[in-house]
Amino acid sequence: MEILERFLNYTKINTTTNRENGANGIMPSNPTELTLAKAIKAELEAMGVKDILLSDKTILIAKLPSNLDHKVPSVSFFAHLDTSAEQTNDTKAQVVKYSGGDICLNKELEIYLKQSEFSELANYVGDEIIVTDGTSLLGADDKAAIAAIVNAFEYFCTHPEIKHGEIVACFVPDEEQGLRGAKALDTALVSTDFGYCLDCCEIGEFIYENWNAGDCVLTFKGQSAHPMNAKGKLVNSLLLAHKFISLLPNGEAPEYTENKEGYYWVKELSGNSAKTVLKLDIREFDEAKYHERKAFLQNLADGLNKIWDNRIDIKISDRYENVYNYLKDENAPAIRYAKQAYENLGITPKIKPMRGGYDGAVISAKGIPCPNIFTGAHNFHSIYEYLPLNSLKAASDVIKQIVTLVAKG
């Protein structure tokens, strides 16, 4: 099967993550994620892949054994089954031979993918571009990754003369709501020396740094009183929370930062004069600075508690870690092989830190160092999401090249 047909088939299965089900602990949050997993499993079985496990949580793991007579590192590739909840409509994908200018997504609704707004379109003149009809996501995040991985498996299955070590594909549910599938994954069932997620954007992107991410929940306990006789009695928890927020460092918020600059994000504030809950996100690339940020919040709460007679409860927790914490070295095998694969294919690496998280952050912490390779798509989580076909093919070629390089040692 050609990679285009494979990808289009996947887009026809609506796997929008279901946040309500996810919040209630249901996995997969959308039963169609299981439908997609079963379809992938059937494809792999038809290729002759024999070692396949589909768990009750809809985690699909498939292994191709090594065909070498000596040991080389084993490599895994990860993708997620769900799509984001920004749009829930079924995807009606279109393939456009792009000759420049704007692309009409939906004539009736007058929806256009405009080159004036998305200037990078100029890089794809002459390419075929897969787009939506303007009423849904495309789902290239992350079905392009699934197509690239399955396509690479088909290549090695149909070319047994190509030497390779053990290759593992793993597809997880519900990445789009807190990396739930990766957190549920038993990495002992994958058990490779290193791996790669395919969950970033345009051709050439290569990510091996992301946030160290934490959550902070503060509960401010006031003392209610009727305003007619509140003097000396009322302690307004809303104002306590406001005072705490005012003591956060100026300029260290998402709207003021970029690149590898960390921040505190005042994310949610709710309550009344008697009780107020404040939720903060903590983000930092550097591991030591991340711990300093957590300590700052703890010390600030402790200091105010001395003044306010212990009116603050604070809970700080870790959400995920920076992948680079587990790579440590620019010459780590997972980085080195990917860079060499890009070079061999004539792809210029666009190395950037991800100001967010992805499944690889969780998987790395579980023992499989896992950088992030491009899928080729643009405008994730948007009706303007699009995927140049040659970029999709390149993502699959990178997988093949990495596997081949590892086999050569």
What pLDDT, in 10s, does the model give residues 1-18? 899 999 999 999 999 999
What is the Cα–Cα distance from 78 to 179, expressed in whole angstroms?
12
Q: How far is CA 45 from CA 150, 257, 276, in A?
A: 11, 48, 54
> What is the predicted pLDDT for the residue at 228?
83
Question: 153: phi > 0 → left, psi -120 to 50 → alpha, else beta; which?
Answer: alpha
- The residue among 224 and 169 whose pLDDT is bigger is 169
The predicted-structure confidence for 312-329, as pLDDT tens digits, reads as follows 999 999 999 999 999 988
Binned at pLDDT 50, 70 and 90, residue 188 comes out as very high
> What is the predicted pLDDT for the residue at 347?
98
Please identify every residue annotated as catalytic: 82, 175
**Is the pLDDT confidence value at 178 over 90?**
no
Q: How far is CA 16 from CA 34, 82, 83, 308, 311, in A?
A: 12, 6, 5, 46, 41
What is the Cα–Cα distance from 292 to 285, expressed in whole angstroms?
12
**Is the pLDDT confidence value at 222 over 90?**
yes
DSSP H or E run through 268: strand 263-271
Answer for the pair 339, 349: CB distance below 8 angstroms, yes or no: yes
**Is the pLDDT confidence value at 227 over 90?**
no
**How many residues belong to the chain?**
409
Picking from 171, 116, 132, the residue whose alpha carbon sits closest to that of residue 149 is 171
The predicted-structure confidence for 355-402, as pLDDT tens digits, reads as follows 998 999 999 999 999 999 999 999 999 999 999 999 999 999 999 999
Burial 41-60 (b: 16+ CB within 10 A, else e): bebbeebebeeeebbebbbb
> What is the predicted pLDDT for the residue at 142?
94
What is the Cα–Cα distance from 194 to 10, expressed in whole angstroms?
27
Picking from 177, 173, 171, 117, the residue whose alpha carbon sits closest to that of residue 145 is 171
> What is the predicted pLDDT for the residue at 3?
98
Other C-beta atoms lying within 10 Å of the C-beta of residue 181: 28
DSSP 8-class letter at 89: S
Query: Average of pLDDT values for 206-218?
Result: 96
**Is the pLDDT confidence value at 209 over 90?**
yes
Picking from 164, 170, 174, the residue whose alpha carbon sits closest to that of residue 146 is 170
What values do phi and psi take at 396, rounded to 5? -70, -35
The mean of the pLDDT values for the chain is 96
pTM above 0.75, yes or no: yes
Burial of 26 (0-12, 13-18, 19+ CB in 10 A): middle
Tokens 């927790």, residue located: 317
Other C-beta atoms lying within 10 Å of the C-beta of residue 174: 29
* Pairing of β 128-131 and β 263-271: unpaired
**Is the pLDDT confidence value at 117 over 90?**
yes
Picking from 140, 197, 117, the residue whose alpha carbon sits closest to that of residue 378 is 140
What values do phi and psi take at 146, rounded to 5? -60, -45
Picking from 176, 212, 140, 150, the residue whose alpha carbon sits closest to that of residue 359 is 176
Answer for the pair 262, 284: CB distance below 8 angstroms, yes or no: yes
> What is the predicted pLDDT for the residue at 409?
83
